[in-house]
Chain A
């Protein structure tokens, strides 16, 4: 993901959050897998 796309991705994540999609942290307390899934969704790779 280039820098410009990463910038847009951050905006996309924020838009998801604004529409109530806050995500759920894993047992380690992070969102790694979910972020990866969101990135695939954003890039149209799903």
Chain B
């Protein structure tokens, strides 16, 4: 039987259910890689899809992708297969740092570690050791990008109820919706703009009765 998922419907916060999350991620599969960009707070963003102008006149010449993956405070690893290089946002202490080449954000932005014409060929969420949800992206040039929630981020978020929660990673879409993942196993697909038409918004409620999923050991 053929089924359809309306990507304009919202998904209220749920715990786990990575199979459904994977379905929402299908919309970035096939999208071309555009560029990396650093944002406020040293946050890495990955721009995909088609270049779009910003709404704000303050950002007139700063194009963005129709899809943007924001890494927030998470750790990331990138395999640039064609260059035979591995890039790490937070190399393990066991590695001899003297042997590692340091790379600034501007170098990352200027050196296309993923080919400009490469497309996303797979996008898979998976349970991470931190207790959160990681994301693996594969590109048609055999490059891979993996986002893993920082363990300290997961602990801070669950213990401090006063500060607003910061997601582990997010994906902005051109449909006025964004995928918000973390902290922990929580994720949602929510409106990203205030221009919301109630007639096109259907709230999908699916709650896991048993609470958090068991963490991987």
Chain A: residues with CB nearer than 8 A to chain B? Answer: 2-5, 7-8, 10-15, 17, 41-42, 44
Contacts and interface: CB of A to CB of B under 8 A. Distances in A.
Given A8-B54, A12-B58, A42-B58, A3 B190 contact: yes
Nearest to B37: A11
Interface string B119-150: 00000000000000000000000000000000
A2 B37 CA distance: 21
Main SS of chain A's interface residues?
helix
A5 B192 CA distance: 8
Contact of A7 (B57, B58, B62, B70): B70
B54 A10 contact: no
A17 B58 CA distance: 14
A2 B192 contact: yes
Contacts of B68: 7
The 7 tightest CB contacts between A and B, nearest first, are A10-B40, A2-B194, A4-B192, A13-B40, A3-B192, A14-B40, A4-B193
A8 B55 contact: yes
Nearest to B190: A3
Interface string B39-52: 11101000000000
A11 B62 contact: yes
A12 B59 contact: yes
Chain B interface size, as a band, is: 20 to 34
Contacts, number: 50
Contact of B56 (A2, A8, A13, A14): A8
A3 B192 CA distance: 5
Contacts of A5: 55-56, 193
B59 A4 contact: no
A15 B59 contact: yes
A11 B39 contact: yes
B169 to A, nearest CB: 13
Nearest to A12: B58
Given A8-B56, A11-B62, 6 more contacts: A2-B193, A4-B178, A8-B59, A12-B58, A14-B40, A15-B59
B56 A42 contact: yes
Contact of B39 (A2, A10, A41, A44): A10
A3 B72 CA distance: 14
Given A4-B172, A42-B58, A44-B57, A11 B194 contact: no
